[in-house]
Structure 1
Amino acid sequence: MKTKVAIIGAGPSGLLLGQLLQNAGIDNIILERQSGSYVLSRIRAGVLEQGTVNLMREAGISDRMDSEGLIHDGIELVFDGRRVRIDLKELTGGSSVLVYGQTEVTRDLMDARDASGGTTIYEVANVQLHDVNGSAPYVTFEKDGETTRLDCDYIAGCDGFHGVSRKAIPAEVLTHFERVYPFGWLGLLSDTPPANEELIYAHHERGFVLCSQRSITRSRYYLQVPLTERIDSWSDDRFWEELKRRLPKEVAENIVIGPSLEKSIAPLRSYVVEPMQYGKLFLVGDAAHIVPPTGAKGLNLAASDVKALYEILKLVYRDGRTELLARYSQISLRRVWKAERFSWFMTNLLHEFSDRDAFDKRMQRTDFHYYTTSEAGLKTIAENYVGLPYEPIE
């Protein structure tokens, strides 16, 4: 087999890159170790930055997103019971975010891939990347007991933190940056109307809480819990009781209780690897970086990687601008670190840390007061939440 771009991973970043390249006439093949139904079963975030929304529209897969997604012009932050609305639209000159579940994004991308005739091969095993720093890279994989070789010009590693792509880069080339947080998020999904029209991020002495949503009839709630917690220790009743305890009374009274569709505990970490490219291999999304979900940046950061790589490859194939390839890592990392900073800031601002002393807690409270009473502070939160502008590829 032969293609121009081999894409490892059929999550949203791999599918979005594949669709954009396909539309630009750049042939690509996507390899995925899981089944399509498994990929769709992953429960992930659902807040899309303006830039991600625009990229979906550019890829031609926005019809359902535009009709079913919920535009949010603001979010609420809560500290010591004090509610502050961040008016995203006013503070950023018109930008907002769109609530549309990552599962739905993936479904739309899969449907578009099928309609375009693009090739996605699911349930492949033993994927190996070869000669990524040479002139003729290729990928080998097993499917139905047979080994296949896929020759290509470039490889996009969109296969997540545990994938094979990053491991194909020599260890001595990479520098890893990591911060592991001493807590996780216990999440519950339910077919109940949201407690509030907009998302609520709340600090409480018992731990952080997030009131999120997927639609006007489906809610997603999160509680900060110790890493030692077990999911089977949390009945639905216990979850709802604890959720209400951590929220302002008027919000708690709006909570509609219902059976959970899914419950899980996710650890929080910040992670970045540098560089994000090696030879003709380019790391995209979670293969290169992970952010704590407090800043709603995970999928959006992957989309910005996709945007940078797509624009570079388009100019390479259209105009022969191969010198741009060496800029991918620098361009992507500038945005990655800004998103890491914002996610780290929001995590520190709103969570309880067991090792904080009285001084640290006063500083946390003062930070919240400053950022929510200063116009400059409010704008800083708003412009980062809706997403910083993409760097032009010139």
Structure 2
Amino acid sequence: MSRIPLVDLAASYDRHRHAIEPAVRTVLAETRFILGREVGEFEAAFAEFCGTRHAVGVSSGTAAIHLSLAALGVGPGDEVAVPAHTFVATAEPVTWLGARPRFVDVDPATGSMDPDGLKAVIDRVRAVVPVHLYGLPVDLDAIGALARDAGVPLIEDAAQAHGAEFVHDDGSVVRAGAYGRIGCFSFYPGKNLGAFGDAGAVTTSDPTLADTIRRLSDHGRVSKYEHLTVGYAARLDTLQAAVLGAKLRTLREDNQRRRDLAAGYRSRLSGVGDLVLPAEPANRRSVYHLFVLRTRHRDGLLAHLRDAGIGAGVHYPIPLHLQPAYASLGHRPGDLPATEAWARECLSLPIYPELPDEHLETVAAEVRRYFETAG
């Protein structure tokens, strides 16, 4: 294990165990493992946190996207716009439903879906799924306007952005997952709000959509043995809901700690080598799920940090349009140049609320040392 890991789940558990363990013991004692009361309690609390009327707990972030697309009627013959610089789970549900992902290039500054790239395909797509990459909201006003003008639903992939904020010109603030028709969240263990396994949620202020997604997640049923539609086995486990409910109580302060750590990296790495630090648009407030640098010397810096016992990572080295799984779409290198540049140059540094200040100092010092010695 790295001396300074990229993510430290053990430290997170130690800090939250006083709240998690009693919640889990209660579930075990009541033996309501499927759709126990903790699921509804967490859904209500998470909807309030996000600023939506409804939240539906589901089995994973991937399931959240899948159920959302299905609820909107996406199917064979449709195309769905997704960015090419993201985890494959953004695109997989499109394929499962028989539709085709329309990969869109990204903004060179942020790595998120480029509004100009979306504009070129908006007339051909059935839905738009932008990703709030690394915890920074996408340009929601620009992308939202394109989707509204085209009459296309906007589904926010907020898997990395629990609590991230977008500020409108009038000063009003909307949280990730509350802007579009639907928001999709992952609670994978390493996320800002992480479960003890796979878990996810869908947020929406549309009661009809919430009911449809809830029904689809539970075998399409309207009563124990009556199934209105063919559905899926994609419910949120009660144990995971109990864990998430306990950890949600500190999410605001945890996100602030991430912002403080990001500011610490900025102050120590500004002007170092050819590093490009994460963008901070004035109208978007990141929750720094990841702190991602860019450098033409990515592979050398990555090797140096790992040799020093620092768990740096790469998110994501192979763009979706060049993945073997999507070779049938016929893309070639050079098709989406901004995406491909991000894939070559991005490097993630350790960032999590439990990261000690002295470890941040060590990471920053090793980054500086690499550029000093590399010349």
Fold conserved between structures, TM > 0.5: no
Larger relative strand fraction: 1
Q: TM-score range by the shorter chain?
A: under 0.3
